[in-house]
Structure 1
Amino acid sequence: MEYYSGKSINNKIAIGKLFYYKKQEAKVKRERIEDVENEVKRFDEARELAKEQVLDLYEKAKSEVGEAEAAIFEVHMMMLDDEDYGDSVCNMIESQMVCAPYAIASTGENFANMFAEMEDEYMQARSADIKDISERMVSILLGNNDTGAVFDEPVILVADDLAPSETIQLDKDKLLGFVTRHGSMNSHTAILARTMNIPALIQVDIKPEWHGKEAVLDGYSALLTIEPDESALFKAREQVAQDNKKEELLKELKGKETVTKSGQKVKLYANIGNVADTAAALMNDAEGIGLFRSEFLYLESADFPTENEQFLAYKIVAENMAGKPVIIRTLDIGADKQVDYFNLKKEENPALGYRAIRICLNQTDIFRTQLRAILRASAFGNIAIMFPMIISLSEVQRAKEILAEVKSELKEQNISYKDVEVGVMIETPASVMISDELAKEVDFFSIGTNDLTQYTLAADRQNPALDDMIDIHHPAILKMIEITVKNAHDNDIWVGICGELGADLELTKFFLDLGVDELSVSSSSILPVREKIREQE
């Protein structure tokens, strides 16, 4: 019996045989060609076929894991159309008289290295995407028909790494879990694992000789046990049985009130990234949408989404929620969420730079378009507006002035809208310290604990080297939440939490004791949080 540790993606357990998967590597040779025009044509044809394949992957991912998680393949589509990438490949073919596979592989490696060396986290992540699309086109040209890992029985997959395209093609009915040597907690593959609700370990020192051996993948302890003895198997099966029983119990909580035994009620809402996520929110019995991350409309678009495109998205969510609250956070672009067509300048520290409300108050045409869309959609449901990254009273006052101007425009144009609640995100130490003043300007607070944690601890949450430093239970964070809740209630407004801490069951009682009015969590966390609340006295 051997033990290997790693980092866990999901608190779940898998028991079964290990299947070692080694990706078929395409051997690319530098070959001189004579017909340049034909070789460029081969590249163009490979690119078109790659687009078709990626589109198929997008549709498959969309149907299996949702639109938000499928968005990575839209990024791949855009990269395949990237002019700089295409020009570089063609230039290499023409100037060096080399074959298309070699030009693609070389360009892919050059671009991937260039992205990997950038300081911006978002751009670094694009390195893996460049490799993925380059390998796809090379495989097409070389006639490599590798269909990925194929297995006849349920297995725990072991691999050096898994690209999102490989992960989404796996047979979900036979995939018990996976273990990889590489990867990160925030990779697209990790996100897919969470969405598929399967256990996974990353950063494990894997070995080919494990193939076919029995193992236990324990997501709770982040351990992989090779050839477990009867005692280890018994414990693992016991935990699996408990997990299954818990899932069944949680299903019984659908439709039940989110209330403690003593009668303290809490609003339990869902965080969503786009229209498709509404289905998961409803399926898990969300009482509303506490955070609609509207920036995904921009991230998933090749240009600024129009007023009507935004209006339709907000309207559909409002209608689907059938009168339940839908809180839309205005544009939060910047930091780790970069969009090319915004043409934002490179910053030394984008997390502390030009982002969110700062962009909106400076580029008011973008802001006004979004506010018009939200207000128009308010006529079809119960919508509220929330401003992110607030650090001053003047920002809130200016944002409200623009909102009032937009309302006047709509009124003059005889366009219907409702008076919506207006709130702010409390996610900077500055907003906490002036929360008593901010509370006099708005209808509610929503505490964004993710950014509040990184700004309070001066620790970049995108930097994996600081993972051990980011203490989400740090006394300073909890004290700031306490201050914010008190100042909200002293000014007769409600306060919620929409960051990751909202789903932290270790803090549920703490939030109840403070009198937090609302918790907004991922859809999969709604029922576990409800169960925890209903257990409290």
Structure 2
Amino acid sequence: MTFTLHGQAVSRGVAIGRAVLVASSRLDVAHYFIAPEQAEAELARLRRARDAVITEIEQLRAGLVHDGMEAHAELAALLEVHLMLLQDVQLQDGVKHWVRERHYNAEWALTTQFEQVARQFDEMTDPYLRERKADLEQIVERMLRVLQGVGSPVAAPTVGDGATTGDPLVLIAHDLAPADMLQFKHSVFAGFVTDVGGKTSHTAIVARSMDIPAVVGARNASQLVQQDDWVIVDGDAGVLIVDPTPMLLAEYGYKQRQGVVERERLARIKNTPAVTLDGQRIELLANIEQPEDTVPALSVGAVGVGLFRTEFLFMGRGGRLPDEEEQYEAYRRAVEGMHGLPVTIRTVDVGADKPLDHHRRDEHLNPALGLRAIRWSLAEPAMFLTQLRAILRAAAHGKVNILFPMLAHLGEIRQVHAMLAQAREQLDRRGAVYGPVRIGAMIEVPAAALAVRLFVRHFDFLSIGTNDLIQYALAIDRVDESVTHLYDPLHPAVLRLVADTIAACVEAGKPVSVCGEMAGDATMTRLLLGLGLRSFSMHPTQILAVKQQVLRSDTRKLRAWAQQVVASDEPALLLAD
């Protein structure tokens, strides 16, 4: 019987194949007390398990390099995250406490400490960092499998799962570690579906880097789908169709073939300048999390990095902050990786609700409105100056912009200018080499959007962070599943804030970009062009689809229509016309 499951669309396209089920990687863990004299033996078991997992992941990472899989730079980045978490001091020290002080057995101690650390991730408001809890869970489960002598939950395709018939396969799982997924990099997997996850989950990142259709957050898919069922993954709509009728198979087969043709067509415009029909040159930039992400960015024709999220350098370290040299090396690699194209580096967007400031995190009852982003940076001047010095030094190697997140007050604006001047003075006293930078502010707090003319007077450029702007404008927690249906980029108030910000920058002659999900949504491209936007920053996999819309657009004809959309009570209806 045909039925449909809904989730989140994270990687576009259609996949049709037989389901390969991967059971939840959660293992039953024995809970028992050990004698005090057994503590060191239990800790030795844990060290061997950790070392075995590290060796396995390092072999997988080396395999990526050996295979020349440059397009999978994000996979390598996720493996790096897992290696960092495996060596996390907080995780290790906590496990030692449970074994030595409470006399828990190794497995019990490991899962207990995981639950302790996982609570910190649950309190995070940034979806990218919040979903790194899944990475921590996966490295713990990999260690548990080693401790218990259990093999990987992912096995090579065998008889009965489509391998013998040559049918394409679709992976259905509760959740899946990137290291496990890499075991299938030469297989016939056509798509992925997971019960959990969001747009920034590791599964979503892997699916986008592999350029395969994927749906995440499909709830009970792994329980409702049976092994070898025919399934359709609609990565455009976020839908999984199980046991489709012949008519549905034919319909989606046609859509799939059209998708292949479309991707081939998009690939041909990679080197075509992004210029509208009326001659407007549009800047299409990439959002990255790691220096290695410059490779996929350049492969799709990005003309720079519009947002380098530096949070990756700070996470999974048990509260230990990266020093100036470590940050400088990361920023330098990103700058050099873009071969002279500009790189916009956003200062760290973490805070007391993130696992970096454990002493104060419990004081903040509403982390989304607490000491995060620039507020946290200004509250920790030593950390902030370290990052600013590292960015300034990296600017000696190419074009660099500095972007400050979550500014809202004139006092904050003056403080960041003063801190930047202080960082330069410190480098001067050391005789260190550094380069010039342009400085910009993110418009992601409604107050900043309403006071945008204040911002254009103090910054070289602005960048609209639509994800947070929507969240704060509509009072919606965008990671709370119970209210995500109210998260609406086409709400009239949101569009007005975006339109007014763009208009103020155009009037002042200051560059402005959009770096949130709205920038990478090809259905929004014409509207943003009509509002005067000329710079878009997005995930590299979204660039070619947006470029296609740019090449087909005449901004002169879009202006009046865009204003009608913004003024409408129901913008979505006009956008669909």
Does residue 259 of the first structure (1) align with residue 275 of the second (2)? yes
Question: Deviations 1:509-535 (Å, cap 9, x if unpaired)?
Answer: 221122113111111111111110010
C-alpha distance in 1 between matches for 2:262 and 2:406: 38
Cα distance change, pair 149–171 in 1 and its aligned pair in 2 (3 A): farther
Following TM superposition, by how much is the alpha carbon of 1:480 offset from its aligned partner in structure 2, in angstroms? 0.4
Q: Distance in 2 between matches of 1:509 and 1:220?
A: 19
SS where residue 340 of structure 1 aligns?
coil
Aligned to 1:428: 445
- Tell me the distance in 1 between the aligned counterparts of 2:63 and 2:366: 37
Q: Is contact 1:157-1:178 (8 Å) kept?
A: yes
Q: Report the counterpart of residue 193 of structure 2 in structure 1.
A: 179
**Pairwise mapping of residues 518-529 of structure 1 onto structure 2 (< 5 A)?**
518-529=535-546
| Conserved 8 A contact 1:261-1:535 | yes
| Deviation, structure 1 residue 410 | 3.2
1:173-212 Cα deviation digits (max 9, x unpaired): 2212233444445432233223322223322444577322
- Inter-CA distance 16–139: structure 2 relative to 1 (3 Å threshold): same
Which shifted more, 190-199 or 487-496?
190-199
Alignment of 1:127-526 (within 5 A): 128=134, 131-146=137-152, 148-152=154-158, 153=163, 154-201=168-215, 202-207=218-223, 210-299=226-315, 303-334=320-351, 338-340=354-356, 343-346=359-362, 347-526=364-543
Distance 1:55 1:309, change over 3 A: same
Greater displacement, 504-513 / 146-155: 146-155
Query: Following TM superposition, by how much is the alpha carbon of 1:114 offset from its aligned partner in structure 2, in angstroms?
Result: 4.6
Name the structure 2 match of 1:83. Answer: 93
Q: Which shows bigger deviation, 423-432 or 143-152? A: 143-152
Moved more, 469-478 or 299-308: 299-308
Say which of 123, 126, 136 aligns to 1:120: 123
**Would you say the 8 A contact 1:116–1:125 is kept in 2?**
no
Q: Describe the SS at the equivalent of 1:328.
A: strand
Aligned 8 A contact 2:22 2:222 in 1 = no
Amino acid at match of 2:171: L
Q: How big is the shift at 1:307?
A: 1.8
Question: Match for 1:53 among 43, 47, 56?
Answer: 56
**Other-structure match for 2:82:** 73
3-state SS, counterpart of residue 210 of structure 1: coil
Q: Which amino acid aligns with 1:245?
A: V
Query: What residue is the counterpart of 1:99 in the other structure?
Result: none
Does the CA-based 8 Å contact 1:104-1:134 persist in structure 2? no
The one-character-per-residue Cα deviations of 1:345-373 (angstroms, maximum 9, x if unpaired) are 32211111112211222222222222222
Secondary structure of the corresponding residue to residue 240 of structure 2: strand
Contact 2:296-2:540 within 8 A present in 1 as well = yes
Is 1:13 aligned with 2:18? no
Shift of 1:451: 0.9
CA contact (8 A) 1:65 1:192 kept: no
Q: For residues 39 and 215 of structure 1, do their structure 2 counterparts lie closer, same or farther at Cα, with a shift above 3 Å needed? A: closer
Task: Name whichever of 112-121 and 351-360 sits farther off.
Answer: 112-121
3-state DSSP of counterpart to 2:482: helix
| Greater Cα shift, 370-379 or 249-258 | 370-379
Tell me the CA shift for residue 60 of structure 1. Answer: 5.6
Contact 1:112 1:128 in 2 (8 A): no
Q: TM-score, normalised by structure 1?
A: 0.89
Residues 82, 510 of structure 1: alpha-carbon distance in 2 compared, 3 angstrom cutoff: same
User: Using the alignment, how far apart are the partners of 1:33 and 1:385 within structure 2?
Assistant: 53
Letter in 2 for 1:166: D
* SS in structure 2 at match of 1:220: coil
Query: 1:50 Cα deviation (Å)?
Result: 3.4
Shift of 1:255: 1.7
Answer whether contact 1:26 1:138 (CA < 8 A) is retained: yes
Matched, 1:4 2:4: yes
Structure 2: distance between partners of 1:285 and 1:58: 26
- 2:169 touches 2:191 (CA, 8 Å); kept in 1? yes
Decide which of 45, 58, 62 is 1:42's aligned counterpart. 45
CA-to-aligned-CA distance 1:367-420 (integer Å, 9 cap, x gap) = 222222222222221111121111012211221122223333434544343332
Query: Do the aligned partners of residues 232 and 494 (structure 1) sit closer, same or farther apart at CA in structure 2, a change above 3 Å counting?
Result: same
Secondary structure in structure 2 of the residue aligned to 1:260: coil
CA distance in 2, matches of 1:282, 1:84: 42
User: In 2 relative to 1, CA 478–20 (structure 1 residues): closer, same or farther, beyond 3 Å?
Assistant: same
Please say if residues 79 and 178 of structure 2, whose CA atoms lie closer than 8 Å, have aligned partners that are also in contact. no
CA RMSD of aligned residues (A): 3.0
**Structure 1 residue corresponding to 2:109, chosen from 104, 107, 110:** 107
In structure 2, relative to structure 1, the CA distance for the partners of 1:318 and 1:126 (3 Å cut) is closer
Contact 2:57 2:79 (8 Å CA) reproduced: no
Separation in 2, partners of 1:130, 1:313? 23
Amino acid across the alignment from 1:443: D
Which one-letter code corresponds to 2:212 in the other structure?
I
- Other structure's SS at 2:499 match: helix
Which residue identity does 2:123 align to in structure 1? D
Matched letter for residue 191 of structure 1: I
1:417-442 CA distance string (max 9 Å, x none): 33321111111011111111121111
User: SS state of the match for residue 292, structure 1?
Assistant: strand
Mapped to 1, the partners of 2:237 and 2:307 lie a distance apart of 31
Task: For 1:410 and 1:27, locate their aligned partners in 2 and report how far apart those are by CA, in whole Å.
Answer: 54
Give the stretch that moved more between structures: 490-499 or 7-16: 7-16
Distance 2:343 2:312 in 1: 16
- Gap change, CA 1:30 and 1:189, over 3 Å in 2: same
Residue deviations 1:200-245 (CA, integer Å, cap 9, x gap): 3322444577322333222234433344343222211211111111
Unaligned segments of structure 1, at least 5 residues? 97-102
| Structure 1 stretch displaced more, 261-270 or 127-136 | 127-136
Distance change (3 Å), C-alpha of 1:169 and 1:440: same
Give me the whole-angstrom Cα distance separating, in 2, the residues matched to 1:73 and 1:400: 36
Determine the C-alpha separation between the residues in 2 that align with 1:54 and 1:509. Answer: 43
> Deviation per CA, 1:26-70, whole angstroms, max 9, x where unpaired?
665567877725455434433433343344455567864524333
Find the aligned partners of 1:335 and 1:255 in 2 and give their Cα distance: 43
Return the alpha-carbon distance in structure 2 between the equivalents of residues 29 and 368 of structure 1. 47
Q: CA deviation at 1:160?
A: 3.9
Determine the C-alpha separation between the residues in 2 that align with 1:409 and 1:159: 52
